[in-house]
């Protein structure tokens, strides 16, 4: 059977990764969390005091960065590695969330990450989540979904997630971080967060994860059927 690309874009913390992971598992496809790639780059930049206003230093740093994904055999989770080091937990911390959008606006960073992501999905059979997958990385994705949700509902879910990782973050701080990231992500010049014309809108404010997953899987089923019929 032909394999397709599933692109899930949308606002921060509206359930993209959870949905993408389950859809990929259901289809036997690879799952790529592109936000994790930008987070890993941010971690490197912070650790090496890279001056974001100096394009030469930014490019030099990018030349020294390798972001890869490896499956954790114990948990079955795809985890992100920065130059061979597992940074899956570190990149989810608040100090990275606070800085990641500022790093993601840099054209050199976007060019490097988008090129990498295109390579990863060259053979299709992939579910990718992010901000610009349906618009810039895979404009030809067979299934495009744009996810959103009420900001307070997103913040509550995010707070719970962080709490489960033993990080206590005040609710207002999370709301502010989500609003700030949404704003920077949507207004940047290079591949901004924007719903593709042919994307399907999915508001996750009042639905369950299973319903989110089913919504995407139904679209996948129709896309696959269309492909079969077109052959």
Q: Which residues bind ligand DC (CB under 6 A)?
A: 12, 34-35, 38-39, 100-101, 104, 130-132, 181, 185
Q: Tell me: is residue 10 an annotated ligand-binding position.
A: yes
Shortest Å, Cβ 99 to ligand DC: 10
Choice between 180 and 227, CB closer to ligand DC? 180
The residue (of 107 and 226) whose beta carbon lies closer to ligand DC is: 107
11 marked as binding residue? yes
Write down the least CB distance from residue 132 to ligand DC, Å.
5
Residue 140 vs 228, nearer CB to ligand DC: 140
- The Cα–Cα gap between 101 and 215 comes to 28
Q: Contact, 143 vs 219, CB < 8 A?
A: yes
12 is in an annotated binding site: yes
Q: Which is nearer to ligand DC, 12 or 19 (CB)?
A: 12
Question: Least distance in Å: CB of 82 to ligand DC?
Answer: 14
70 assigned binding-site residue: no
How far apart CA 98 and CA 206 sit, in angstroms, is 27
> What is the Cα 96 distance to its own chain's centre?
14
Asked if 75 and 68 touch (Cβ cutoff 8 Å), the reply is no
**Helix/strand/coil for 80:** strand
- Cα–Cα nearest to 77, from 34, 120, 24, 16: 24
Give the nearer residue to ligand DC in terms of CB position, either 99 or 227: 99
Quick one: which H or E segment has residue 186? helix 171-187
For residue 187, how many other CB atoms are within 10 A of its CB?
10
> What are 33's two structure tokens?
């969390």
Distance of closest approach, residue 228 Cβ to ligand DC, in angstroms: 30
- 111 has binding-site annotation: no
**Local structure of 102: helix, strand or coil:** helix
Whether 16 has a binding-site annotation, put simply, is yes
Task: In angstroms, give the least distance from the CB of 22 to ligand DC.
Answer: 16
Q: Which residues are annotated as a binding site for ATP?
A: 10-18
Q: Which residues are annotated as a binding site?
A: 10-18
């Amino acid at each position: 059977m032909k394999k397709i690309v599933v692109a899930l874009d949308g606002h921060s913390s509206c359930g993209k990764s959870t949905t993408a992971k389950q859809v990929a598992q259901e289809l036997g496809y690879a799952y790529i969390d592109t936000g994790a790639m930008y987070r890993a780059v941010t971690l490197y930049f912070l650790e090496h005091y890279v001056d974001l206003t100096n394009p030469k230093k930014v490019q030099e740093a990018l030349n020294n960065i390798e972001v890869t994904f490896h499956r954790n055999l114990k948990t079955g989770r795809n985890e992100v590695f920065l130059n061979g080091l597992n940074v899956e937990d570190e990149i989810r911390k608040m100090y990275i969330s606070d800085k990641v959008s500022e790093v993601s606006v840099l054209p050199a960073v976007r060019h490097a990450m988008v090129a990498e992501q295109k390579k990863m999905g060259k053979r299709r059979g992939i579910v990718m989540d992010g901000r610009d997958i349906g618009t810039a990385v895979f404009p030809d994705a067979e299934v495009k979904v744009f996810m959103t949700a009420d900001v307070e509902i997103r913040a509550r879910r995010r707070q719970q997630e962080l709490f489960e990782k033993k990080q206590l973050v005040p609710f207002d701080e999370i709301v502010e971080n989500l609003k700030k990231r949404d704003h920077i992500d949507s207004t940047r010049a290079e591949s901004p967060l924007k719903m593709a014309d042919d994307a399907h809108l999915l508001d996750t404010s009042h639905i369950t994860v299973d319903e989110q997953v089913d919504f995407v899987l139904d679209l996948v089923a129709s896309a696959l059927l269309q492909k079969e019929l077109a052959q």
